[in-house]
């Protein structure tokens, strides 16, 4: 099983690479890794398992975060209406997004970042993502609110982008010219 010791931390070059597309259909090994990633997120949200293995309660994880530079991630979390979004996706791609932006008021963190970094992380308010599920099914997801932010955070990992890369620009944008 995946535990915190498998999580690559800030400073490791794999987090800055543009991950490679997965050739579909995914191999048995790729499916196994992606299901393990999804299981890690589920485990991390189970108080007993999280306590036993010292897991940070996570909502999503991208393959580069376990040192694998492939375009796949797992998300397992609830939106504002308590609807569960549980996906392991191969080659997820944002095919459209709103101009309107959104952010989490408390900023963001990351399983690969062991320090507190404050600041607003601007995200698109609404996105449409295409991808192939663990079951090999092509899906098109229209996302908004919290879940859209989680997906954008994970998509960024596939392009070597960390959440704090997006902080400064937003602060600048709010500065009105004198
Ligand atoms: C997380 N967890 O998993 F609102 F029950 C974060 C960490 C970095 C704090 C572990 C998280 O937001 N947990 C959470 C939030 C809730 C309710 C709840 C648990 N990530 C995922 C990550 O690093 N993926 O690469 C960071 C999130 C920040 C914004 C979106 C993803
Ligand atoms: Zn992250």
175 has pLDDT over 80:
no
163 has pLDDT over 80:
yes
Phi, then psi, of 126 in degrees rounded to 5: -135, 140
Q: Which residues are annotated as a binding site for Fe cation?
A: 110, 153, 157
Ligand nearest to the CA of 162: 2
Q: What is the pLDDT of residue 170?
A: 60
Of 141, 139, 143, residue with least CA distance to 126: 143
| Cβ of residue 150 lying under 6 Å from some atom of ligand 1 | yes
- Count of the separate structural domains present in the chain: 1
| Residue 154 among the catalytic residues | yes
The CATH number that applies at residue 117 is 3.90.45.10
Could you tell me the pLDDT band of residue 133, with boundaries at 50, 70 and 90? very high
Owning domain of residue 166: 4-175
């Amino acid at each position: 099983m995946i535990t915190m010791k498998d999580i690559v931390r800030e400073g490791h070059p794999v987090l800055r690479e543009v991950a490679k597309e997965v050739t579909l259909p995914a191999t048995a090994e790729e499916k196994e890794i992606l299901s393990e990633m999804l299981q890690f997120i589920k485990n991390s949200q189970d108080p007993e398992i999280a306590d036993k293995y010292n897991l940070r309660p996570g909502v999503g994880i991208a393959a580069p975060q376990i040192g694998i530079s492939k375009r796949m991630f797992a998300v397992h979390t609830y939106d504002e209406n308590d609807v569960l979004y549980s996906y392991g996706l191969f080659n997820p791609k944002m095919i459209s997004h709103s101009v309107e932006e959104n952010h989490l008021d408390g900023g963001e963190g990351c399983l690969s970042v062991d320090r507190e970094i404050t600041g607003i992380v601007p995200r698109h308010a609404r996105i449409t993502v295409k991808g192939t599920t663990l079951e090999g099914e092509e899906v098109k997801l229209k996302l908004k609110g919290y879940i859209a932010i989680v997906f954008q955070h994970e998509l960024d990992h596939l392009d070597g982008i960390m959440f704090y890369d997006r902080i400064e620009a937003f602060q600048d944008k709010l500065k009105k010219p004198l």
